[in-house]
Every structure is written in structure tokens, then in C-alpha cells.
Structure 1
Amino acid sequence: MSRGAKRVARHIPVESGNYPYVTARVRAKKSALLTPDAYTRMLQMEIPQIARVLGEGTYKEEILSLATKLSGVDLIEVATSRRLAAVFTQIIGFSEGELRKMIGWYLDRFDVQNIKTIVRGKVFGASPQEVMDDVVAAGSMTEPFLRELAEAPSLDGMFERLDGAIYAQALEALGVKASEVRRWNQWEDLVTQLYYQNLLNVIPERTEGTRLMRGFVRREVDIVNLRTLLRLWASKATLPYDPFIDGGRDIPKAVLAEMVTMDANALAARLRQYPLTQALASRLKELEALGVGQLVRSVEKLHLLETEKFAHLHPLSVVPILDYVVRMEREVQNLRIIARGKESGLPPEVIRDLLVI
């Protein structure tokens, strides 16, 4: 290729990544996710039986490696966290080019979750090992670095190690040191806002692949905002700051604060204006009667439906991979709910209502 042709090529949007190979591998992994029938059977089992069933399937390696050290709920929680990290690290490993970058950007959500987990653990006096048992090292931060944060002698010392990152930026916005924070919910919301803001900023709209990823992330912003809206609306809570995220695809951020104060009829009418929430609007009063938890879970189920629909429309893109990330993470959350529910003696039907399937 001539020098002039190379200069021109640099400015032509070209898809970069082994999409057919990665999407085929991910489809195979998705087919191994637990089915609704598998959850139904687990609800009739005791915790040791559940661990044994998991040890006979895709969680075999993690269950076997931990079975001599842990048991019960601890075994299930740590094994599922490690499996999550291992699978996502594997996907990054066999992805190439721009596809690999996009998946990595999205998986940084686990860095956000991990830092929040470590902060909560320190606030409530958990040991570093207890904190690390809940960490999923699937983002950019390595497990040794996360352990270093968990073992930091103080919150102030921990945030010194995060200087320049969104976690320190959110703290700076509060205008206090970590040791002076009394309620961390505003910091957590600021971190979430910065994560999505940065994610949308780094995804270029150069190619079809990056445009699809932007669409996926913007829809997820709608879902996160909707979950926050319904939680605040149902609890009649007010916050001294704006918890909503800019950049949603369907629901403008500007209308969300107003929607928090509406009565059920007005809110349902407003939600019917957006294709994303039309079905939810028709069930709003029914879900409200069942409590905040059912409202939030209805949004999380909507998220699964939306990601699957988007993935079906674009089978050879980054979207099926992101859909699998969402579903695999949800599977692990469901397994933890079942294990903790069993440990607490909850009836199977109560635990079932807590699942998002």
C-alpha cells in the first residue's frame, strides 16, 4: 500500500475484532447458563445439595478448589465470584482489536462494584478477607491491587491509592476526606454517574460496532435511572442531590426528578410515553402494592428482556457478548440469593420472588 493510501485508510472507519469467533464462543457459554427449571429444583434443595449440583456443572473447577477450605453459603458465594472473574477474563483473552477494548471498557463496571464493596466493608468493620470474598476481579484492577486496597489501614489511605480515578474524583466533589464521610450513598451515586459518563465518552461512533455499543450502554443508563426513580418514588424519599445519570436513550434526565413526585396515575401516564416502559406502566399499581423490591426486580427483568432483544437483532456484534455479561452476572446474583435465603430459613416461594429470571 502506498504512503498516501495508508494515510487515507487511517481515516476510514474499519471494524477491528474477531466477532464471529467470540460471539460463537459466547453463544456456547450462554447455552450453559442455568434454566428456570434448574432454579426451581434448587429451591427444593438444601445448601450442600446446591453446592454439589454446581460442582457437577460449569462451576466444577471453583467448587472443587475451594471445597476443602469453605462450606455452605461461603463456598457458593466465593466459588461463583471466582467463576465470574474467570469467565470474563477468558472472554477478554480470546477477543482482539477494537472488540477487546469495548468489552474491557464495559467490564470496568466490576471495578466500580469492587471499590464500593471495599468501602462498605471498611465502613462496617469487615475483615479484608471477608471483603475479598465478595470481590469479582473481572475489571482492569488486579486481585492483588484490590487486596491492597482492602488491607489499607484506613479509608483515607485507601483513597490515596485511588488518586486520579473516578472514586477519588467523586470524593473530591463531596469536599471532604474519606474519614469524614458519614453517609456514602451520594458518593456511590457520583461514582456510578462518572463511570457511565466516562464510558460514553470513550466509545467512539466511528463504526457500526461502536455505535451498537453506545446504544447498549445508553439503554442501560435508562434502566439504572428507572430503577432509581421507582425506588425513590415508592419509598417517598427525597435526596439533597441529583442521583440520575445523563445519556439515556429514551428517558431524558431532565424529566426524572419531576416523575419522582407524581402520583401513581400521573407516573403511569408518563411512563406510557416511552416504548421502554409501556408494559411496566400498565402494572405500576400492582407492583407498587407488592413493595419496592418487586418494582426494582421488574426493572431488572426488563433489562434482561431488552438486552436479549438487542442481541437477537445484532448477532455478530459486541451486543451478544454484553448480553451474556449481564446474564452471567445475574445468574451469580440469583445463586447468592438462593443460598442466603436458604441460610435464613426463607420458604422457597419467598426466595423465588426475589429472583430475577
Structure 2
Amino acid sequence: MADDFGYLNARVRARRAALVPEGFFREALALTFPDLLSALGDTPYGDALAGEDLGAVDQAVSRHLQESVGSLPAMVSGRAREVVSLLLSRADLSNIKTILRAKEHGQTAEEVRAHLMGGTLPESVINAMIEAPDAAGVAQALYLGAHPLAAALRKAIAAGGTLSEIEVDLDRAFYQALKRQVEQYDDQFLRDYVALEIDVLNLSTAFKLAQSGMGDEQPGRYFVPGGRYVDAELFARLAAGDFGALDRLAGTPLEPLAGATDLGELERRARCLLVEKARTGVYDANGPGVVTDFIKAKEWEAARIRLLARRAYYNLPAEAVEREVFCS
């Protein structure tokens, strides 16, 4: 098994060729739910589709992500496997936070599963976290699953922080580990991409603080270091509601986000920005950019399918999800 990306990238390129074409998403905007299920049957998700309800779509998306993306680390060894595993662990981070929020807001297991991404966690650990009675139970399930974020979650819970503070502690732990690996691997694309992700995370957090009115209460507690263009000063200004400070992003890769005036618009623009940035990594046949792009493309594809399935299932107008499903 190779300790480099050359072999893995060849396999990934073949898988990327099977991405759901853009025309599917345009067509799906007008489909009824039964017709959408039929159309999905003709995509790579069809083999995982067992059932005719919304839950069946969510399960098919989860299964396909595990097969197409979750299997990548097993194809490579050494440092390359560590990098791929950490790239996939971003989905673990998102899933853990989704489950913690569900505990806070009393969401059902079905509602939780509708928002889960791929990642490295086996289904048994995911199920144990969903079924756990509280955040401490989630941490215990993660610990038994030997996940790298288990220690950070247990420490954050023991400190008695709010859910927002626990999430920031998880973000810091994850990105510190990811940046260490990136620095050791010494790939400029990956360095730039991870720094951009951290900048986007801090922008989103600052907007959330401003929206909740908490921006004046120790904003530094919520700042995650490691980005390149969003420093602690800019973060604090945005958290306090000074959105004019976004002008500082002019001339940087984050400039497309500068015109955002609310959290929803910021996150829509940021999602497309990261998808586009990941796409620039495909030109290095022996680097991690090809895998980074594929993981991001599959996550974006899965999110779009779930949104379109909900539009069709609840018979919503196309414009209800159109802005969330397309980048232009």
C-alpha cells in the first residue's frame, strides 16, 4: 500500500467521474417526490436506496458517502493516510456538533440523521451518540470509539461551558491537529485551504455572535486561531455588528464574502467559495488536492440531494431551496 497520493488520486479521479451531473439538480427542482426517487435510482445513490420515504433518501446518502468517501483512508498508508483521515474528520466534527445541538434542542433521531455527513466514525458509534441521553453520553460514545476529538469533548463538557463554547473548543482542537499534520506534510495547497476554512469558520461565528447580541461579551473566547485573513481584531469588530469591517477582505480570497449582510448569505457564499477553492487542487497528480476536492464535492452533492428531497417531499416551491442548491 502506497504512502503517497499518486495511487490514491488515480482511484479518486475514477470516482469523481461518477459525480451526479449538474443537469440532475436542475431537473430535480421540478420533480415530485416519487419522480425524484426514480431519478435517484439512476445515480450512484440508487444502489443504497431502500425505501420510498424521506428517511430512505437520508440513509442512501449516508451509505453512499461511507462507501465513496469513508473508504479512502484504507487505500493509502503512512502520512498520506493520516492526512486523508483528518480531512474526513472535518465531517466527524460537523456530525458531533449536529448531535450535540440535537440534545440541546430536543430533535429526533430522524431530524439528526438528515444533517449528518460522511466522516470516519462507524455507524455503531454514530448510533450510540444519537441514542445517548445527554452531551456526556455523546462524549462517552466518542471515547469508546477511540476518536481523536473524544478528549477535547470530555474536557469541554467538564469545564461546564455553554454549547457554543463546547463547539469552539472542538473547533480549536480539530484545527490545531489538522494544521500540525498539514505543516508536516508541507503542501502549499493544503495549507492555503485549511487556513481559508478557519477564516470562514471565524466569519460565520462572528456573524452568529452579532446576531445573538453576544458579540460584546468576550468575543476572543470564540475565536479560532490559524486563519490568514481574519484576525482577532476583525473578528471582534464583526462580532459587535460592525459589518463594514468586511471591507478589509477586499483583494483577498475571501473578497466574495465581503458583501454579505446576514448569516444565511454569508454561509451560502462561503460554501460556494470553499467548493471552488477545493476544485483548484485537482491539478497536482501527486498531492492531496485531488482528494480534498473529491471529499468537498461529495459533501456538497449529498447536501444538495437532501435539500431537493425535502423540497419534493413537502411539495415546496422551487425557489424555497434554489439559492441553497446552486452557486450561481
Find the aligned partners of 2:183 and 2:138 in 1 and give their Cα distance.
Answer: 36
Deviation at 1:128, TM superposition (A): 5.3
Aligned to 1:193: 172
Aligned to 2:320: 350
Q: How many equivalent residue pairs?
A: 317
Aligned to 1:320: 290
> Residues 141-170 of structure 1: CA distance to partner in whole angstroms, max 9, x if unpaired?
322233233333444444344565221122
Aligned to 1:13: none
Deviation at 1:348, TM superposition (A): 0.8
The 5-angstrom pairing of residues 73-84 of structure 1 reads 73-84=54-65
> Residues 221-264 of structure 1: CA distance to partner in whole angstroms, max 9, x if unpaired?
1122223334445x373243532210013332343112333645
Which of 119, 142, 151 is the matching residue for 2:131?
Answer: 151
Which of 74, 81, 90 is the matching residue for 1:100?
Answer: 81
Aligned to 1:298: 269
1:56–1:95 Cα change, 3 Å: same
Which of 214, 219, 222 is the matching residue for 2:196?
Answer: 219
Aligned to 2:97: 116
> Residues 110-169 of structure 1: CA distance to partner in whole angstroms, max 9, x if unpaired?
322232233333344455576567545631x32223323333344444434456522112
Find the aligned partners of 2:278 and 2:38 in 1 and give their Cα distance.
Answer: 31
Alignment partner of 2:31: what SS?
coil
Find the aligned partners of 2:282 and 2:223 in 1 and give their Cα distance.
Answer: 29
Find the aligned partners of 2:138 and 2:197 in 1 and give their Cα distance.
Answer: 30
Contact kept, 8 Å, 2:58 with 2:113, in 1: the verdict is no
Contact kept, 8 Å, 2:5 with 2:287, in 1: the verdict is yes
- If you compute each CA radius of gyration, which structure gives the higher value, 1 or 2? 1
Query: What is the one-letter code of the residue matched to 1:292?
Result: L
Query: What is the one-letter code of the residue matched to 1:328?
Result: K
Structure 1, unaligned stretches of length 5 or more? 1-15, 176-182
Stretch deviating more after TM superposition (109-118 or 96-105): 109-118
TM-score, scaled to structure 1: 0.78
Find the aligned partners of 1:271 and 1:215 in 2 and give their Cα distance.
Answer: 16
Find the aligned partners of 1:279 and 1:298 in 2 and give their Cα distance.
Answer: 7
1:312–1:41 Cα change, 3 Å: same
Contact kept, 8 Å, 2:195 with 2:228, in 1: the verdict is yes
Contact kept, 8 Å, 1:117 with 1:135, in 2: the verdict is yes
Deviation at 1:17, TM superposition (A): 2.5
Alignment partner of 1:108: what SS?
helix
The answer to whether the aligner puts 1:167 opposite 2:147 as a matched pair is: no
Structure 2, unaligned stretches of length 5 or more? 144-149
Aligned to 2:232: 253
> Residues 169-202 of structure 1: CA distance to partner in whole angstroms, max 9, x if unpaired?
2213336xxxxxxx5233223212221122223x
Deviation at 1:219, TM superposition (A): 1.9
Find the aligned partners of 2:277 and 2:185 in 1 and give their Cα distance.
Answer: 22
Aligned to 1:91: 72
Deviation at 1:93, TM superposition (A): 2.1
Deviation at 1:328, TM superposition (A): 0.7
1:304–1:134 Cα change, 3 Å: closer
Find the aligned partners of 1:262 and 1:137 in 2 and give their Cα distance.
Answer: 34
Aligned to 2:33: 47
1:135–1:236 Cα change, 3 Å: closer
Contact kept, 8 Å, 1:213 with 1:318, in 2: the verdict is yes
1:134–1:303 Cα change, 3 Å: closer
1:158–1:221 Cα change, 3 Å: closer
Query: What is the one-letter code of the residue matched to 1:270?
Result: R
Query: What is the one-letter code of the residue matched to 1:213?
Result: L
Deviation at 1:33, TM superposition (A): 1.9
The 5-angstrom pairing of residues 174-189 of structure 1 reads 174=160, 184-189=163-168
Aligned to 2:302: 332
Which of 46, 51, 65 is the matching residue for 1:60?
Answer: 46
Which of 289, 300, 308 is the matching residue for 2:279?
Answer: 308
Alignment partner of 2:230: what SS?
coil
1:292–1:255 Cα change, 3 Å: closer
> Residues 25-58 of structure 1: CA distance to partner in whole angstroms, max 9, x if unpaired?
2222223223332211000101121122112111
Find the aligned partners of 2:291 and 2:275 in 1 and give their Cα distance.
Answer: 13
The answer to whether the aligner puts 1:278 opposite 2:258 as a matched pair is: no
